[in-house]
Chain A
């Protein structure tokens, strides 16, 4: 399997935070969702990989190349969280700037996207809503024949309808086996819809990197009382949380647990619940 994007042992140390040996891959033809709470290290991982921040250790490869040189940058579309374009520009002017920056710039594709997103070409960006700014950034990322898209919270600030349209665009994009997407998002329902793999970062470390289907099919939450909780084999527990009237226990083998504890109520776990239990739960 070819990897469109690979991060290995990526490390960056700050006074109060360390990105600790982060490793994961984005296989070609797939969408990888990067999840984690605020401050977990998702954006730091992306910024460090893209060279905005100098890494202390580790290697990063884009489309099989170690360096993010200008030729590789032509093929990598990036959308950061929030607007990163001067507010006095208009989509039309931004298009001209990009045309003079990317050799592979596709003006027709850009204008088609502006029309699709109903973005007024001559209006200044400062008059745009957060969602419109995000749509503009996505239009740029999609208009230079990228093979790899790196989207940092790209769907935040968008209404559910347009978010759905963008998710469909992402799914279309990876129909080409040479394309791949790394999508960092707080909106785990989006990732449940489109991601093939989930990378979960917590306190600067990768907690797991697994196929999404494996997570959703195999992970489960045992909902039980105190007595039942005490009776559980502790090796079956990934994390647990005591709620008002019950214990919630995260397990990685739902069907096996159902056989082992036939009286326990075991429900499938969503990405949100898995993340919550890892972050807020305790481990034995």
Chain B
């Protein structure tokens, strides 16, 4: 898996400047307009999304065929994408937290409930979306996959909003959706190992 992750690192490195620029513009803008904590959600989602784009890059370059003859199983190749998603989302989350804490500290607005709220939303959004986009990227063509990418985030928002309507307490809502995200992601991973890893690579 080390070789596969190293390949993804090189792919990500090649688009890192553009991602950083988009992140600076969108993250900076939204956090300025709303709350500095919005940057935590954006960083987690954006970095997670990059790992999904590497699946498409693998498809277009034909790497999936090359990876199939490397001394790694098809399941390991699939696992590497789920691991990468977690790694990048984790990095994004940590980076977002740091970037959010600094302005909050400067404004003296740091409180635990806000941290918990945004942290939960970040985890829930990233994992719920990842549980949809990763398998869709493997299963669908590039065009159809764009639809899954566009649908995954509104769907995740819908789940969070739906939970907020069910439970009055914001924090409980966010914790429940974060747990839901973890469960969905685990389920997506298990099902992908069972069904996607055996699909033909053409």
Using a CB–CB distance below 8 Å, which chain A residues touch chain B?
47, 50-54, 70-71, 73-74, 76, 78, 80, 82-89, 93, 96-103
Contact = CB atoms under 8 A, between A and B. Distances in A.
Interface of B: 2-4, 6-7, 10-11, 14, 57-58, 61-63, 65-66, 68-74, 198-202
A39 to B, nearest CB: 14
A101 B102 CA distance: 41
A82 B62 contact: yes
B10 A88 contact: yes
Contacts of B57: 86
Give the residue among A70, A76, A86 with the most B Cβ atoms within 10 A. A86
Contacts, number: 78
Contacts of B61: 83-87
Contact of B69 (A50, A53, A82, A99): A50
Contact of B68 (A51, A85, A87): A51
A56 B198 CA distance: 13
Contact of A96 (B6, B11, B201): B6
A43 to B, nearest CB: 10
Nearest to B76: A70
A33 to B, nearest CB: 20
Contact of B65 (A52, A73, A86): A52
Given A80-B62, A82-B62, A89 B3 contact: no
A102 B11 contact: no
A85 to B, nearest CB: 6
A123 to B, nearest CB: 14
A85 B202 contact: no
Contacts of A50: 68-69
B201 A52 contact: yes
A210 to B, nearest CB: 28
A211 to B, nearest CB: 28
Contacts of A54: 198-200
A101 B70 contact: yes
A86 B11 contact: yes
A85 B57 CA distance: 10
Please name the 6 residue pairs, one residue from A and one from B, whose CB atoms are nearest each other, closest first: A101-B3, A84-B62, A100-B3, A84-B66, A88-B14, A70-B71
Nearest to B57: A86
A101 B4 contact: yes
**Residue among A80, A88, A98 having the largest count of chain B Cβ atoms under 10 Å:** A88
A71 B71 contact: yes
A97 B69 contact: no
Contact of A80 (B58, B65, B71): B65
Contacts of B6: 96-97, 100
B84 to A, nearest CB: 14
B65 A53 contact: no
B198 A89 contact: no
Contacts of B202: 47, 52-53
B83 to A, nearest CB: 15
B13 to A, nearest CB: 8
B157 to A, nearest CB: 32
Given A86-B61, A97-B3, A99-B3, 5 more contacts: A52-B201, A76-B69, A84-B65, A85-B66, A100-B6
Nearest to B201: A52
B19 to A, nearest CB: 14
A271 B14 CA distance: 46
7 contacts: A53-B201, A70-B73, A83-B61, A84-B66, A86-B61, A101-B4, A102-B70
